[in-house]
Chains A and B, each alone.
Chain A
Amino acid sequence: MPGRVTVRLFATARVAVGASQLRIRVDPDGVTAKSLIDSLGKHYPKLAPALRTSRFVLNERYLTRLTNKVRPGDEFAVHPPYGGG
């Protein structure tokens, strides 16, 4: 049975989607981060430009490889370029 991944969106990514969080259904075996990012870009075309310049975080750790698996229950965050201070 498919489960869900929580996708957290910040700044321009949040504005593009109009929500700070999404629940995305994925296969029980999970999907690659690249596949999830591509899927987000297709479903939310306004998000695509932000995805091109963002860093990604999987379960509170920066994603190092787009081939990493994202599994049901995981939290995936989209971080557009930072702008604190």
Chain B
Amino acid sequence: MSLRLTRRPLSVPAAMEALEGPGLGGVVLFAGRVRPDATRRGRVVALEYEAHRTLARVVLAELERKVHRRYGAERVVLWHRLGSVPVGQVSVVVGVATVHRTEAFAAARFLIDQLKARAPIWKTERVQPARRRQSRPPSPGGRGAG
């Protein structure tokens, strides 16, 4: 099992490596990236993540044990960024390796849904305030061509 709550960038290839194991034919890896969503305050440029770290680790470890029991997951990756994560960067990686694909898909879905609902992690949007539109000065000749 691999749990991380880190301020450092998350590497998807490194997550794939952590999911290797003999006979594990089904590997599902989910990576969540920060989107440049438009909000009322402006466009999102980054998400600021914070966590109750000790408790978050306990919750993530419980989730890992559950997917092992329910889905036979032999390898699990649960990585989450903390601090400021700019648009386009990966903020969360959830990965599962099982013998067959059906269990891997189900386990990965379960993990990301449960992580979002149960892990004491929060995000705050950092936005680029929308620029006010400047009204054009009226042209000397008034409206129309010429």
Binding site for B on A (CB under 8 A): 8, 10-11, 14-15, 57, 60, 77, 79-80, 82-85
Contact = CB atoms under 8 A, between A and B. Distances in A.
B54 A60 contact: yes
16 contacts: A8-B52, A10-B50, A10-B52, A11-B50, A11-B122, A11-B124, A57-B52, A77-B55, A79-B52, A79-B120, A82-B122, A83-B116, A83-B122, A85-B91, A85-B115, A85-B121
A82 B50 contact: no
Contacts of B55: 57, 60, 77
Nearest to A79: B120
B29 interface: no
A60 to B, nearest CB: 6
Contacts of B117: 82
A85 B92 contact: yes
A9 to B, nearest CB: 10
B32 interface: yes
Contacts, number: 50
Contacts of A11: 50, 122, 124
A38 B54 CA distance: 26
Given A60-B54, A77-B52, A84-B92, 9 more contacts: A11-B50, A11-B122, A57-B120, A82-B119, A82-B120, A84-B116, A84-B123, A85-B115, A85-B116
Given A82-B117, A84-B80, A85-B91, A10 B54 contact: no
Q: How large is the interface on B (under 10, 10 to 19, 20 to 34, 35 or more residues)?
A: 20 to 34
Contacts of B51: 84
B123 A83 contact: yes
Contacts of B120: 10, 57, 79, 82
From A11, A82, A84, A85, name the one whose CB has the most chain B CB atoms within 10 angstroms.
A84
Interface string B74-118: 000000100000000001100000000000000000001001111
B10 to A, nearest CB: 13
